[in-house]
Chain A
Amino acid sequence: MSRAELVSKSAKRERTILQTLAYIGLGIFFLWTTLPLLVMVLSSMKQMRDAFEIPAVGDWSGAFMKMFDFTPTLVHYHDLFVEKGFSTYIVNSVVAATTASVISVFLGALAAYGLSRGRIKGDKHLSFWILSSRMAPVVAVMVPLYAIFAGMGLLEPDRTRNMVALILAYTTFDLPFAVWFLRTFFEDIPLGVEEAAKLDGCSNLQAFVKVVLPLAVPGIAAALILCLVFSWNDYMFASIFGQQGAKTLPVATAELHSTVSIQWGRIMASGTILITPMIFLGVLVKKYMVQGMTSGAVRD
């Protein structure tokens, strides 16, 4: 066997080992992240006694088998909707998150486009400043926002008022993100394409709507989804501004855990309802983020 062959063989072996290690690492990570979700989903469909059944000491395979050994029930879901009025909370969550995200992405797209075209003096500083407003911890803005909203009468126990407060609060956090996120997308759209559109007969607005915007769709979709995720998952704003009139899903879930009792079954069911749409959105956003729509536009 020649020396070159030996070298290539040892390099190959090294690669195989590294690959195996990578797969083991990924496997552990996969279990680490998905196992709690699995337990949550399964527990949401178990009676309390099934959920809390403890296997004998040292009975590992039994522990695993027991996880799946139960009679599925939807009683917790039934309780949530019938007794606890969760459908209202879901509607609150959906309306607040969607409205704030749409507003943020619409305004964010316009701002990001303006910042991406290099016609504004100090645009780099401006975009960093916009982003930095997102870096502040939520609690830092909570007090001033509370004062402002209280002054505006948005904190009265009224569904519409509280909803407006929530939407405004989410927008203050989603908008900077949308601007910053979309700016990079617009920057990737070559200026030449826009100029070509103008010479082809488009006005500035037409060039933006007919040529630039379609190319930015993946970015806009991704930004919209991420804003939705942020707003949907929020607890802090909702617990303070929405508590009375516009309770959202995370707040309602937290209330199932009271000083008197911890309603594990319902908490698990509510958690499942909370994360299911987020998982779908996560898969969607991945699709858009990967897509490179501008490839082939100009000579590379």
Chain B
Amino acid sequence: MAGVKLKNICKRYGGGDVDAVSDLSLECKDKEFFALLGPSGCGKSSTLRMIAGLEEISKGEIYIDNQVVNEVEPKDRDIAMVFETYALYPNKKVRANMAFPLRVGKKKYSDAEIKERVAKAAEILEITDFLDRYPKQLSGGQKQRVAIGRAIVREPKVFLLDEPISHLDAKLRTHMRSELKLLQRTLGTTMIYVTHDQMEAMGMADRIAIMNYGMLQQVGTPDEIFNHPANLFVAGFVGDPPMNFINCLLEVSKDNCQLINESFKIKLTQDMLDRYNKKNGNSPAKSIDVVMGVRPESFILTEKEGTENSFPAEVLVTEPLGEEMVVDVKIPENKNDLKIKVSVDRDIKAGDKIWLDLNKDKMHLFDRKTEKALLNVRRWKK
């Protein structure tokens, strides 16, 4: 069992002038379920492949179990990887596929031991019935299980998973999320999981690192990522439907603070002001361009004009999703439409004129220039 540490890692592919991964420092603790999350091309797979040793590291060091592994061959790193394509050996039966790491690895196992380990892994993954089949006779979900089985028989220091369930159908994917999480708990092994699906990362990981354009955006627990996004990118990437962004002007005076937009004027509460000052230092009185971020579920939707902060809007489309309904609304003078989540039994239809208010405790503010967070949601003491 071991932790993985990345120190100022850079990856530049031959001939290119852009870093696929730039100056990435991360630490994944022992027995942690760690997710690398980001859109395609963000460098998360390159990072994983560098940890695996399949890709050369252009700059920086990678430590596994406190030892630099930059020059260590993949076979000597004592890690196992599950590939996006499963990468099973097509000419070997499932049993031989799973036994392969035990047969070629540095540590020698007796035939009886190999048999026992394969049987045990197969039992955990419920693939005992397929042991005598060839990979091409298996469904996608079964192949994926075999790939995981091949990874767990050896009890490696670290598991690397590269989008292992992204090609399964939606139902199986949901099922596999909890299974993988349970498996990680059962095995108690460090797991690094690459995905572009925020649901997977949020649902499974102990901590998440979000990347974009080869750069680390934020590392944190799912709660930190969701409720305290460090910047505009993280805020917009995590959450479904994504966070709504509205450009505003933040007017800060000594003891008054309000958000101004063509459609509304929202006064910040004393608590918000305190948190704002705490996060950004007591800022001098001035106006700054900000982006207000509000999650779809943090709006309060009323039929009549409500408080002084509420503002009018028009319903464009409604998407009922069983329990909830996503309502697309347009507010005057705002380029982007807003997505709002309400209970499905609200009587709202396209064309309705409504009033919007928002839960100020759940409001985010970002600097429009630097895109850094200025204010996040209020943290409730547990």
Contact = CB atoms under 8 A, between A and B. Distances in A.
B304 interface: no
Contacts of A206: 104
B159 to A, nearest CB: 11
A28 interface: no
A201 B81 contact: no
Given A198-B75, A203-B75, A214-B91, A298 B85 contact: yes
A95 interface: no
B89 interface: yes
B277 interface: no
Contacts of B83: 192, 195-196, 298
B91 A293 contact: yes
A280 to B, nearest CB: 25
Tell me the interface secondary structure of chain B in the complex: loop
A169 B214 CA distance: 54
Q: Counting chain B CB atoms within 10 Å of each CB, which of A196, A206, A214, A215 scores highest?
A: A196
Interface stretch (B25-33, B129-137, B230-238, B351-359): B129-137
Interface residues of A, number: 24
Given A195-B54, A297-B135, A299-B167, A202 B104 contact: yes
A192 B85 contact: yes
Interface in B108-152: 134-138, 140, 143, 150
A215 to B, nearest CB: 6
A296 B90 CA distance: 6
B81 A297 contact: no
B64 interface: no
Contacts of A200: 75, 80, 100-101, 104-105, 150, 154
Interface residues of B, number: 33
A210 B154 CA distance: 19
Contacts of A202: 75, 104
Interface string B41-85: 000000000001110000000000000000001110001110111
Contacts of A298: 83, 85-88
A211 interface: yes
A215 B92 CA distance: 10
B143 to A, nearest CB: 7
Nearest to A211: B89
B106 interface: yes
Interface string A227-243: 00000000000000000
Nearest to B75: A201
A190 interface: yes
A201 B135 contact: no
Nearest to B107: A201
Nearest to A296: B136
A296 B73 contact: no
Contacts of B90: 193, 215, 293-297
Interface of B: 52-54, 73-75, 79-81, 83-91, 100-101, 104-106, 134-138, 140, 143, 150, 154, 167
